[in-house]
Amino acid sequence: LRYLSLDADYAPNPSTEPVAFLRLHLSILPSSILEHFSFLLSPIQRAAIPAIRNRRLAYHSSAPPMFVFPVARNRWVDIWDEIAPSAVLQENWRETSKISAQEEKRWAEAGFLDGHGVLGEKSRLGKLLGDYEEERVGEVERANRSARLRKMEARKADDREATLQDASDSEEEEEELSDEDQNAAPAADNQQLQRTFERVLKERFLAGLLKDFDYDSVDWSNRWDVQSMDDEDRWFQDD
């Protein structure tokens, strides 16, 4: 009260009505005096004062390193854990499924049917069916028709092999597209997760809810007043 040249019976009284008092006089009080209000008001209670919320917002807008991802994530792990578990589990599940599919595919290509893989198996199956058909027809038909029929069946077998190959290529393309979609999904999830985390962190900071943060350094510093920042910008421009 003496600093402001106010009477002893001035209302609102800073001791009994600190919020109302600071609403009126925060911007003109030095930090050395404002620090005493830390014993009267918690960071949450101070959030009721518009000037303090504005200081916090100005501080956050300056992009201090501790609020930049992933530093912020590592600093406030409790908030990250509240937001992340379901997405992290989903991402791990996708990654595990992808790895399992790749391992199974490599096993089939390297060890199944002498290393020819699934496509080789399908191609050889088509060829075997064609050969079997040729033999069956050759036994039934007379000798004068066997040569012509074998040629016809050979063409059919080639067509079947081509169809199987096309189907295999199509399946492989679909698998590649599916893999691309699965790769894109976790990336999109992570970006959305980061935005959500940053938004929640900002809201909690402005509300005075963050643990392990020195609110006094922001709340009681007129450096973060908009007018002070404008004056500082003009000072640099004048230089």
Instruction: Provide the pLDDT confidence category of residue 169 given band limits of 50, 70 and 90.
Output: low
Q: Is the pLDDT of residue 50 over 80?
A: yes
One-letter amino acid of 100: S
The confidence score (pLDDT) of residue 64 equals: 94
pLDDT for position 83: 86
pLDDT tens for 170-198 read 555 555 555 555 555 556 678 888 999 99
Pick from 106, 101, 119: which is nearest to 179 by CA? 101
Distance, CA of 23 to CA of 20 (rounded, Å): 5
pLDDT at 154: 66
Query: What pLDDT shows up at residue 70?
Result: 86
| C-alpha to C-alpha distance for 172 and 170, rounded to whole angstroms | 5
Mean pLDDT over 95-120 rounds to 49
Confidence (pLDDT) at 179: 54
Mean pLDDT of 70-79: 91
Averaged pLDDT, 191-218: 95
pLDDT of residue 176: 55
Its pTM surpasses 0.85: no
Q: What DSSP line would sit under 140-174, residue for residue? A: HS-HHHHHHHHHHHHHHHHHHHHHHHHHHHHHHHH
If you ran DSSP here, which 8-state letter would residue 101 be given? H
Q: How confident is the model over 28-51, as a mean pLDDT?
A: 95
Instruction: Return the pLDDT at 213.
Output: 96
Locate 4 and state its tokens. 């402001």
Q: What is the mean pLDDT of the chain?
A: 73
Residue 140 has pLDDT above 50, yes or no: no
